Amino acid sequence: MTVPAAPGHPLTDAEVRRIRNDFPILGSNVGGQPLVYLDSGATSQNPISVMEAEQEYYEQRNAAVHRGAHTLAVDATEAFEAARSTIAALIGASTDELVWTSNATEALNLVAYSLSNASAGRGGEAARRFALGPGDTIVVTEMEHHANLVPWQELAARTGADLRFIPLDDDGALRLEEAASVIDSSTKVVAFTHVSNVLGIINPVAHIVALARAVGALTVLDACQSVPHLPVDVSQLGIDFMAFSGHKMLGPTGIGALYGRAELLADMPPVLTGGSMITTVTMENAGYLPPPARFEAGTQRISQAIGLAAAVNYLTETGMERIEAWEAELGVRLVQGLESLDGVTVLGPGAGTPRIGLAAFDVDGVHAHDVGQFLDSRGIAVRVGHHCAQPLHRRLGLTASTRASTYLYNTTDEVDAFLDAVSGVRTFFGAT
């Protein structure tokens, strides 16, 4: 049972404890210790309503969508498209601007490969504006997740375009004073993260979008760590494309989405081809449906989309503003607590910088994997490694870090238990 939304007011510990009743896994024990789940930045947990939504679909309306005239097929199609409407409404988009994908990685690759196809001459005259070639540039940032870096490296390699990046300062923040020179008249695409999955900081989307618009470049936003945690409206952000994943926002795995401005999607050539995305097919040629169907070849992720809609309903009923405010409190508690510990360095700007409830850190003299195992022995689940952001870690002089990430179901007591455990790491490993 979600708590009533009250915009402007963060959740309370009492409300969070009630929320936790909707997540059976949070009552688990790990090695005899109560589970403290602080890895939602990788994968969030599912409320009962999400599991029930998928089960109800399989029990009551399992059928192929957009392909049959029988009652089950119609019911399945209606539920599938209703889910699209729910997710589109969450981000302020229209239904024809939301394309289902398997995850955000696929969504980002979809944009990159569509531009590649346009650069190869596919899509006709309408797609020529998306073509890249020698002399053109693609701009990313030094803090990107590999999913928003490698696809653009590949696009540059296929088209002959150059790849540039906006650098970071020593605290891990974007050097915005250099962005204006990195983004210039040669720039065709600017791809950047809304919220860093390592640093937790919220990037100035409006500033970067303004720079891109001034030179006519497309903007692609990685919103994996923002859509689950912040109110996000694509029309207010002014971006052209945005990718996010269901499994980071209480939804099932295997479902993600790409937002694209309708007039752009309408002119982009498809990437995956086959059934369900065509108008007519001869032995020589094929014609393609308008978006979003053009980009949804083959059997779709029906139950996952329905489950994601249930997750979005859970989030909106709780209140995205309240979730944002609660996580901001947890984020401050995390950072201040970690900064108070000897030998512990928080990655990125310190307390006081706007962030989600996430903090990555380095323990002097102890490898991140050892930190993670130590915490796991106390029932605390965190993420260790480079978090699919090797260039960022390299810029900060590290190969790996430990990351704690919270969500609407985490309490201040859990954050305090985590901080108490981290305080004992260096002593346990003899690194003091």
Class of domain 13-46+319-428: alpha beta
Nearest to 195 by CA among 232, 149, 170, 163: 232
Are 89 and 231 spatial neighbours (Cβ–Cβ below 8 Å)? no
DSSP-assigned beta bridge partners for residue 193: 222
Considering the candidates 180, 388, 391, 428, report the single residue annotated as catalytic. 388
Q: Is 224 a catalytic residue?
A: no
Residues making up the chain, counted from first to last: 432
Are 409 and 45 spatial neighbours (Cβ–Cβ below 8 Å)? yes
pLDDT tens across the length of the chain (432 residues): 444 444 458 999 999 999 999 999 999 999 899 999 999 999 999 999 999 999 999 999 999 999 888 999 999 999 999 999 999 999 999 999 999 999 999 999 999 999 999 999 999 999 999 999 999 999 999 999 999 999 999 999 999 999 999 999 998 999 999 999 999 999 999 999 999 999 999 999 999 999 999 999 999 999 999 999 999 999 999 999 999 999 999 999 999 999 999 999 999 999 999 999 999 999 999 999 999 999 999 999 999 999 999 999 999 999 999 999 999 999 999 999 999 999 999 999 877 788 899 999 999 999 999 999 999 999 999 999 999 999 999 999 999 999 999 999 999 999 999 999 999 999 999 998
Distance CA 108, CA 122 (A): 19
The pTM (predicted TM-score) of the whole model is 0.96
Are 5 and 13 spatial neighbours (Cβ–Cβ below 8 Å)? no
Burial 158-184 (b: 16+ CB within 10 A, else e): bbebebbbbebeeebbbeeeebeebbe
Are 296 and 234 spatial neighbours (Cβ–Cβ below 8 Å)? no
Q: Please report, for the chain, how many H helices and E strands are present, in that order.
A: 15, 17
Are 256 and 308 spatial neighbours (Cβ–Cβ below 8 Å)? no
Q: What are the structure tokens assigned to 154, written together?
A: 């590949």
CA atoms within 13 A on the CB side of 64: 9
* pLDDT at residue 193, as a whole number: 98
Q: Where are the domains of the chain?
A: 13-46+319-428, 53-316
Task: Establish whether domains 13-46+319-428 and 53-316 are of one fold.
Answer: no
Distance CA 82, CA 215 (A): 37
Q: Which residues are CB-contacts of 19 (< 8 A; sequence separation ≥ 6)? A: 2, 3, 11, 318, 408, 409
Return the SS3 of 169: coil
Provide the CA 309 distance to its chain's centre, in angstroms. Answer: 16
Are 401 and 198 spatial neighbours (Cβ–Cβ below 8 Å)? yes
* pLDDT at residue 337, as a whole number: 97
Candidates 3.40.50.300, 3.40.640.10, 3.90.420.10, 3.30.200.20; correct CATH number of 53-316? 3.40.640.10
